[in-house]
Structure 1
Amino acid sequence: MKTADSPPSKVTLVRVGSGQAGQRLDNFLLGQLKGVPKSHVYRLLRKGEVRVNKGRAKPEYRLQEGDQVRIPPVRQAASPPDDSQMPLPGELAETLRRAVLLEDEDLLVLNKPAGLAVHGGSGVKLGLIEAMRRLRPRADFLELAHRLDRETSGCLVLAKRREALLAFHEALKSGGVDKHYVTLLAGVWQGGPRRISETLARKGPRTQVRKVEVDEDGKHAESFFFPRRHFVDATLMGVEIGTGRTHQIRVHAAHEGFPVAGDSQYGDFEFNRRMKRLGLKRQFLHAETLRFHLPGHERPYQIQAPLPADLEAVLERLEPLDV
């Protein structure tokens, strides 16, 4: 069914906010003119119909806070109704409000609930970032600064300004973000702390769920495991990672012969079944602490997310091991 076009819009003057500063002009326009073909947006730029501070500007121009962008009248295709702007279900909205661990003008740090993907796609209609944007519709800018697996809970950083996002990414690249996790592993860990440096690579067709494997041609990954509590057939571990590869902790743990409890992809089936009887309904992996310093910012960050009640309950049901 062909949708009718909306009538031509009027000239619009948009003042660039702090959250949009640093964005390319063409990307900014594509976001403002949803439903308008990309070719038409670039035609408007070439013809000089889009003006920045009353002057012509190239598509690659980086917007600055306070710039005034003139958007000419355009005919936009009528979009089918969607629920992206609908209020969040009350229970999810309240869960996310309670999940805030820290907020300032640059960052928003959440204690991410397990079971909630960080973004939509691949059958996930609503991810955490989409939910937060709906919860805060007036926010100029809100982006994921990094990611956690869907079943992993704990510290997750969102950037409220583009400059903060770039600064956090720079800190990640330079090794300036200390990430500390807590996990329950199958088996009794022998010895003390252990550093695992095994390169990792994704395997399998892109059209399928791709597993990560230890591979000498993969990317460098380093995890530091240290035991915290021993149980009869499991070990509670602290893990610090110097890199942030996909599934890094889960793959390194499984490679050492101590897979993460509840991990359906890399774990031990029989052990997982026993843990399920004790109430474990997801992988036991929690991003407990983040410590970092943003380049160009004086304030150091140290954020801690307490272990969720569902994981605490599993630990209480395990039999301690005297070592």
Structure 2
Amino acid sequence: MKHKILPISIIYINQEMLNQRIDNFMHNRFKNVPKSMIYRIIRTGKIRINKKRIKPHYKLKIGDVLRIPPIKISYNLKNTFFPLNDAKNLLNSILYEDNHLLIINKPSGIAVHGGSGLNFGVIEYFRKLRPLDKCLELVHRIDRETSGILILAKKRSSLVSLHQQLREQKVKKEYIALVHGLWPIHLKKISEPLLKIRLQNKQKIVLINPKGKPSETCFQIKKKFSSSTLLSIIPKTGRTHQIRAHTFHAGHPILFDKRYGKNSLDANIKNNININRLLLHSYGIHFIHPKNGHNIYIKAPLHADFKDYLNNMI
């Protein structure tokens, strides 16, 4: 049995919460917490409304400010219906969390959501692991093979705010990729329209096509090796597989990309540590916090396999 202490929560009572008794409100919000514990923290004054003690029968009013103290909850990973190692890896991958957002450093190989033969993705894992979070939604997506930053919203209002920022291109994402060949110094931007098509084997692929959606990706060389280049990449638009399709179009596919890469090139690369993952990582993101309006920058360190591969090339 594992335990976690939830941080202090400050809740502003709105129309949806109006006239609920505080004890019933707490029971509904913390279903896995014993009722005796909830009544105890109300009775001892640890739960405050407008900085004052209240009784269990107090009915919530619009404008009330509810303060909930840290609460210890239990969860049992053995009772989940997904791989234990994946669950542990995701719990250890949290980069940032508050009452509005949950940001993780997603490992390569885990999809962001279930489907296409997968029972579980990141969002399903966290909904199982965080049953007290009533709203838990993906803010954006990254490919299953790609590692790095993934944002989950814990409130509907946060989801709406960040989606608006994405539409207005106020969110800035930064990636690192290792590509085949020596990237040309002059090639700093690719602006080619991308069209999503479905192949005969039902696999989706994105190709350069005049009928596609406008797409733009910026590139900066970080380091050149003998037969590959480490790039810093900033996608100005957020099309499916955009970085992978643009690097492939440039003749410099990302290493070990099974969809847009070249097996012949991958076979010729020294791979002493037997890595078998796409070498593309979402390492930084800038956005405006949906609640307090602060500028936020989150950075996700490279995972050990990617880092070891780079170190092995030196």
Q: Same fold by TM (over 0.5)? A: yes
1:292 counterpart residue number: 287
1:190 counterpart residue number: 184
**Alignment partners' CA distance in 2, 1:307 and 1:193:** 25
1:309 counterpart residue number: 304
Q: CA deviation at 1:190?
A: 2.1
Asked if the contact 2:158/2:290 (under 8 Å) is kept, the reply is: no
2:276 counterpart residue number: 281
Q: CA deviation at 1:271?
A: 1.8
- Deviation per CA, 1:147-175: give whole Å up to 9, x if none: 01001100000000001001000000001
**Alignment partners' CA distance in 2, 1:92 and 1:207:** 28
- Which of 217, 221, 228 is the aligned partner of 1:223? 217
Q: What is the aligned-residue RMSD (CA, Å)?
A: 2.7
- Deviation per CA, 1:97-121: give whole Å up to 9, x if none: 1100001111100000111000011
**Alignment partners' CA distance in 2, 1:165 and 1:21:** 19
1:246 counterpart residue number: 240
**Alignment partners' CA distance in 2, 1:182 and 1:89:** 28
Identical-residue share of aligned pairs (%): 37
- Deviation per CA, 1:212-261: give whole Å up to 9, x if none: 00111111111001110100100000000111100000000000110011
Q: CA deviation at 1:317?
A: 2.1
- Which of 261, 265, 268 is the aligned partner of 1:267? 261
- Deviation per CA, 1:270-293: give whole Å up to 9, x if none: 122234733221110000000011
Asked if the contact 1:170/1:295 (under 8 Å) is kept, the reply is: no
1:210 counterpart residue number: 204
Asked if the contact 1:87/1:135 (under 8 Å) is kept, the reply is: no
1:14 counterpart residue number: none
- Deviation per CA, 1:136-155: give whole Å up to 9, x if none: 11111100000010011000
Comparing 302-311 with 189-198, which one deviates more in the overlay?
189-198
Asked if the contact 1:198/1:221 (under 8 Å) is kept, the reply is: yes
Question: What residue identity is the alignment partner of 1:134?
Answer: K
In structure 2, the residue corresponding to 1:180 is in which secondary structure? Answer: strand
Q: Structure 1-normalised TM-score? A: 0.70
Asked if the contact 1:181/1:289 (under 8 Å) is kept, the reply is: yes
Q: CA deviation at 1:89?
A: 4.6
Asked if the contact 1:182/1:237 (under 8 Å) is kept, the reply is: yes
- Deviation per CA, 1:13-35: give whole Å up to 9, x if none: xxxx99x999xxxxxxxxxxxxx
Structure 1 residue 105 corresponds to structure 2 residue 99: yes
Q: CA deviation at 1:206?
A: 8.9
Question: What residue identity is the alignment partner of 1:230?
Answer: K
**Alignment partners' CA distance in 2, 1:222 and 1:244:** 9
Structure 1 residue ranges, 4+ long, deviating more than 6 angstroms after superposition: none
Gaps of 5+ in 2: 1-10, 17-59, 63-78
In structure 2, the residue corresponding to 1:277 is in which secondary structure? Answer: coil
In structure 1, the residue corresponding to 2:254 is in which secondary structure? Answer: coil
Asked if the contact 1:21/1:162 (under 8 Å) is kept, the reply is: no
1:318 counterpart residue number: 313
**Alignment partners' CA distance in 2, 1:276 and 1:245:** 31
Asked if the contact 2:158/2:291 (under 8 Å) is kept, the reply is: no
1:130 counterpart residue number: 124
Q: Structure 1's 205 and 216: CA in aligned 2 closer, same or farther, altered over 3 A?
A: same
**Alignment partners' CA distance in 1, 2:140 and 2:260:** 22
For residues 25-64 of structure 1, the aligned pairs below 5 Å read none
1:172 counterpart residue number: 166
**Alignment partners' CA distance in 2, 1:317 and 1:265:** 25
Q: Structure 2-normalised TM-score? A: 0.72
1:56 counterpart residue number: none
**Alignment partners' CA distance in 2, 1:110 and 1:260:** 23
Comparing 85-94 with 305-314, which one deviates more in the overlay?
85-94
1:153 counterpart residue number: 147
**Alignment partners' CA distance in 1, 2:115 and 2:211:** 29
- Deviation per CA, 1:63-93: give whole Å up to 9, x if none: xx989xxxxxxxxxxxxxxxxx836554333
Q: CA deviation at 1:296?
A: 6.6
Question: What residue identity is the alignment partner of 2:112?
Answer: V
1:256 counterpart residue number: 250
Q: Structure 1's 167 and 215: CA in aligned 2 closer, same or farther, altered over 3 A?
A: same
